[in-house]
Structures are given as structure tokens and as C-alpha cells.
Structure 1
Amino acid sequence: MIDFFSSLSPVVQTLLASFFTWGMTALGASLVFTTKKVNQKLMDGMLGFAGGVMIAASFWSLLAPAISMAESGPVPGWIPAAVGFMLGGIFLWSADNVLPHLSPSMPPSEAEGVHPLERKRSTLLVLAITMHNIPEGLAVGVAFGSVATGNPEASIAGALALAIGMGIQNFPEGTSVSMPLRRDGMSRAKSFYYGQLSGAVEPIAALIGVLAVTVMEPLLPYALSFAAGAMIFVVAEEVIPGSQENGNRDLASMWLMIGFTIMMILDVALG
């Protein structure tokens, strides 16, 4: 598979990888066709697992390579990593305060953003997960873009490991949108549609990432760190609190550890 990907252009590599991550979101959303309710412990464990994958990917696949790449540049290696990381968090924080959205476990009265109560619950849920998927798509695009630049710190195997990790953790995100909508009385087809729709932004964000770093190669360490900062913000602000607010704290924490470990193994073994 690695040889096959190596023969493709960076844009095609990115599209294939991001369509896989989108497909995993759709697969998670498809559970709505088999049941109307998923066990809460299972959902909290899945969210914890997703958080662990995102944390591990942020360091092993994004921040560490960014620092290594920047060390040969004109400024200390930690500067691009620190600047990009904080900008990523600020970007998601700004989006969080502007875009109307609603976390799956929240009542509509607790929706956030500008004029959230004027939007339908389905729209708010999709926007919430869409915000999560923007940094994931960027991360995949930047990873394949860094390979295209010929940077020795990047590899096709590492980029594929990141895409696989992002795809695995997208599964519960699709489920976390479709299931609440189904419980609210929406049809199975519509619940699935809105669940998978939240992942549609990933190919778009991935294309932006790969084109940005291949055209402006000096931005690569900043772009990698930006994606890492955005993902860590999502984990701290949404994923971990969401996995623990139903009382399954120990379970969610252990699955976070498992997710982190699996993503670390994927990245180190394949990267």
C-alpha cells in the first residue's frame, strides 16, 4: 500500500486519505440503522479513545516533526512549534465563540456561538463536529504535503499512520451526531445524513493543508504545529469533558490511554 501511495501525486494522496477519514465518520453514523440508542458507557469509552488518538497524533505526528524540521532554520526550533501551536488553539477558540454549535450531550439551551438558539438542533450538532474535523483534515493534508516537500522528517508511512488514526477516532464522532438526532425522533436516513455530513469538511481542509505547505514550504513547521494546537484545543474543550460528564470518568480515562497508546504505536512503527 505504501508503494502504491508513493506513486501518486500529493493531492491524490491527500484526497484518498481524507475520504477514508470521512468514510469512517459515515461508518460511525451508520450505526443509527441498527439501533436507536448506543450504550452510554460505550459512547464515553469511544470518545475517550478518540481523545487519546488526537493527543498522541498531535505530538508524534505533528509537533515533534515540526520541531525537528525547524531546527535547521534561522530561528530556534521551538519558536515555530510554539507559535503555530498557540495559533491553532486561538483559531479554534475563535471559531468556538462565533459558529453556533451544540455538543451532543448538551441540551439546546446550552448551545454556544452567535445566536445559537436560532438554529435547528441538527445544524448545531453538525457544526460542532465539523469544527472538530477541521484540524484533523488539516493535519492529514499537511502530513502528506510535508512528504511532497522532500523533508527527511516526513514519510508516506507516517502520513498514512496519521490518516488511519484520524479515521479510527472519527467513528465515534459520526455516532455522536446521528444517535442524538435519532433519539429526538428524526428518521434513520436523515440522522445518518447529518452524522456523515460533519466529516465532509475533512477533504476540504486536507486539500488546503497540502496545497499550503507544498506552495509555501517554509510554513511547514508552523502548519504542523497549528494543526496540533487546534486538535489539542478540541480535546481539552470538547472531547474529554464530553466523555466524562456522564459519570464514566475512569472508563473514559482508560480508553484515552488505550487510544494514545495505539496511535503512538501506529506512528512510531509505521513512521
Structure 2
Amino acid sequence: MIDRRRSFRLFQIVLHGILNNYVLLGASVAFLSTSLGALPVVFRVRFSARLHDITMGICAGVMLGATLFSLILPAMDRFGGEGLHNASLAVAGLLLGGGFLHVANRFIPHQHFFRGAEGSNSEAIRRLWLFVFAVGIHNLPEGMALGVGTGTGDEGISLPLMTGIGFQNIPEGMIVALALVAEGFAARTAILVTMATGLVESLGVILGATAVAFSAALLPWGLSASGGAMLYIISSEMIPETQKNGFEHQATAGLMVGFCLMMILDNAFQA
């Protein structure tokens, strides 16, 4: 009977942690913003390479700012603030998150958005499912990072992080949809797949919030590991995407604008 009561109490704690308003809003933002990116496929809109690079640069800057201000710095605060020991713990969590994605990218067959398939036996995976799987690998850590952040219930962490990831998801969803159409898939298929990748990110939100709901001690580790995962995604996926069309300077300017925008928004939410 005692074990049942403890289990039920634990279930209540976890349920309360993952069903707070910020977690639910974060899961909705993850899905809707990604799905919104598929609209150009519906209206057959085309974007220039210059605009693509600038937009991705801005998104990379926004995500870099969200990673720093909403994940890494809050992680250090929850480890105890300043000091070599606390900074070392934050660095360890950051390296764990980035290292996990590095291992996943190395050993799991995957596909970058435009750079083709990588990994062992990737040719055996059908094009559509490979693409879905690839985007899922990319989106799940983003969703978990958002879930960890919103799981804190802290408005100053949750709102900037939702803003940053939501802003970044729109062009990312557009890239997924347009790439699938370019590969010969029907517009309806491209839209449904884009929506599915948004659901994967929403699932990540719930998983991240569930993890930190089990124990408050996991929260700083979750924040720092999520920060490391996001840094890895920014460096390995987003920044290279801004450099492929020959508009590096414009993309770099966009990155700086995005970072500054996130800095302003973070301070506005903290006010």
C-alpha cells in the first residue's frame, strides 16, 4: 500500500511538472511554428539564395542567444552561481549534451537537410523515412531543451526560449517542406512530414519536462546538457547552412542581428 501511495505521489509530481502552462504552451509552439513553415509549399512561394542565407543566419543568432541566456546561464545559476566548481559542473553538462549528439550523428544513419546521406548503411533507408528520421534527430533535442526550460516554470527562462525556438522553427519547417518537394514528393506529403517533425519536437518538450519533474537536482544538468546539444546543432547544422550559397557576410550579419534581438528579448522578459 505504501509503495502504491509513493508511486501515485510520484506520478502526481511528474504530471504537475509536465502539465504546467509553459510546458503545454512550449509543446504547442514547437508544433505550430514548424507546421507554419510549410505554408510556402501551399502557395508555391520561392525564396532567393541570399534571403535563405540571411534568414538562416538570423535564426542561428536567435538560437545562439536563446541557448546562452535561457539554458547555459540559468544552468550555472542553479549549480550555485559563480565559482570554478559550479562552472566546471555546467561545462561537464554542456559537454555531455554536445557529446551525445556527436555520437548519435556518427553512428546513426542520418541526412543533413541539403548535404546528403551519411552514416553506415544509409543507402538501405528509403528516402522519405531517412528524411523524417534525420529531422527527428535534429528536432528531438531541440524539443527536449525547450521542455527542460519550460519545465522550470520560470517565465524568464520559458518565454525567451519559446520565442527563440519558435522563431527558428518557421524557416526550418520551410526548409524541410521545400526540400521534400525538390526531391519529387507531393506538396501534401511535404506538409504532412513537416507537421510530423513538429510533433517529434513537441514529444521532446514532454520528455524534457518529464525528466526534470522527477528531481529538482536534474534541472541544472538538464539545462546545461540541453545547452550543449543546442550548441552542437547550431554549429553542425545551422551555421554551415548559411555558408553554402556564397552570402557568408550577409549571413554573419544576420547571425549578429539575431543574437542581439535575443539579448533584447531576454532582458525584456526579465523586466
Class of the TM-score when normalised by the shorter of the 2 chains: 0.7 to 0.9
Structure 1 pair 242–73 and aligned structure 2 pair: CA distance change class (3 A): closer
Deviations, residues 189-240 of structure 1 (Å, cap 9, x unaligned): 0111112222222221111211211211111111100000001001111110
Which residue does the alignment assign to 1:150? none
2:222 corresponds to which residue?
223
- Paired position in structure 2 for 1:266: 265
Over 3 Å counting, the alpha-carbon distance change for 1:69 and 1:41 in structure 2 is: same
In the alignment, what sits opposite 1:199?
198
Residue 112 of structure 2 aligns with which residue? 103
Counterparts of 2:100 and 2:254 in 1: how far apart (Å)?
28
- Tell me the equivalent position of 2:177: 178
Deviation at 1:144, TM superposition (A): 2.2
Q: Which amino acid aligns with 1:17?
A: G
Specify which of 18, 28, 34 is matched with residue 11 of structure 1.
18
How many residues matched?
254
Q: Residue 210 of structure 1 corresponds to which residue in structure 2?
A: 209
In structure 2, distance between residues paired with 1:212 and 1:33: 37
Cα distance, 1:39 vs. partner?
Answer: 1.9
**RMSD, aligned α-carbons:** 2.1
Which of residues 45, 60, 71 is equivalent to 2:69? 60
| Contact 1:132/1:231 (8 A) holds in 2 | no
Give the whole-Å Cα distance in 2 for the aligned partners of 1:125 and 1:22.
18
Q: Is the 8 A contact 1:126 1:177 kept in 2?
A: no
Distance 1:207 1:74 in 2: 32
Q: Structure 2, unaligned stretches of length 5 or more? A: 1-14
Structure-to-structure mapping, 1:14-33, within 5 angstroms: 14-33=23-42
In the alignment, structure 1 segments of 5+ residues that lack a partner are 1-7, 148-154
Letter in 1 for 2:126: K
Quick check: 2:40–2:46 contact (8 Å CA) kept in 1?
no
Pick one of 84, 89, 94 that aligns with 1:85: 94
Matched, 1:35 2:44: yes
Deviation at 1:38, TM superposition (A): 2.7
Distance 1:230 1:129 in 2: 15
Contact 1:18 1:163 in 2 (8 A): no
Which of these two proteins has the greater Rg computed from alpha carbons?
A: 2
Deviation at 1:50, TM superposition (A): 1.8
